[in-house]
């Protein structure tokens, strides 16, 4: 029964979110591109990121390992496809299980625009499931991104005095 339910779930999803963040664009850019800052906000609430690596160049690698509150780890690998600082960041990614098997393939586009001393953040994240557990992951994608962006906004709004 559980297998039939997993197969019935949509295996593709795109999430588009936009948020006006009360922080300078350079700081929001830093939060997306500095691994130490990225690790502080990436993922849903109560998740941590014990591994967060980013080679900020076209063709550069991305590795983030999210740890859930129950201790389960969720690795994501990726490749940077486009960079236009501090306006645009685009990558492809693969969500993996703890054995390294690919569960989801996808991509991310982050756009930052200045708006009266604040930053208009627009994201588009898409994913395609390549293994049955992916359907459950895709169901939580919008909630996960909403919580991530909440965490990002809290981090940069609390650190507006920080230089980029």
> What is the reported pTM?
0.89
Measure CA 71 to chain center.
19
Measure CA 45 to chain center.
13
pLDDT digits (tens, 9 = 90+) for 48-81: 999 999 999 999 999 999 999 999 999 999 999 9
**How far is 42 from 20, CA to CA, in rounded Å?**
18
User: Which of the two residues, 160 and 156, has the higher pLDDT score?
Assistant: 156
pLDDT digits (tens, 9 = 90+) for 22-33: 999 999 999 999
| Rounded (5°) CA angle 155-21-89 | 85
Assigned CATH for 24-158: 3.30.530.20
**How far is 18 from 39, CA to CA, in rounded Å?**
21
């Amino acid at each position: 029964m559980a297998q039939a339910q997993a197969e019935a779930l949509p295996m593709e999803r795109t999430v588009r979110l936009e948020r006006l963040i009360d922080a300078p664009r350079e700081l929001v850019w830093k939060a997306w591109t500095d691994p130490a800052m990225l690790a502080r906000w990436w993922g849903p609430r109560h998740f941590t990121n014990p591994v967060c690596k980013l080679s900020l160049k076209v063709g550069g690698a991305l590795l983030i390992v999210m740890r859930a509150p129950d201790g389960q780890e969720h690795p994501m690998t990726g490749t940077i496809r486009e960079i236009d600082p501090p306006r645009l960041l685009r990558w492809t990614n693969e969500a993996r299980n703890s054995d390294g098997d690919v569960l989801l393939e996808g991509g991310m586009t982050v756009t930052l625009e200045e708006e009266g001393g604040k930053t208009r953040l627009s994201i588009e994240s898409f994913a395609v499931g390549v293994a049955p557990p992916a359907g459950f992951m895709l169901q939580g994608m919008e909630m996960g991104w909403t919580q991530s962006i909440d965490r990002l906004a809290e981090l940069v709004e609390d650190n507006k005095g920080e230089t980029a």
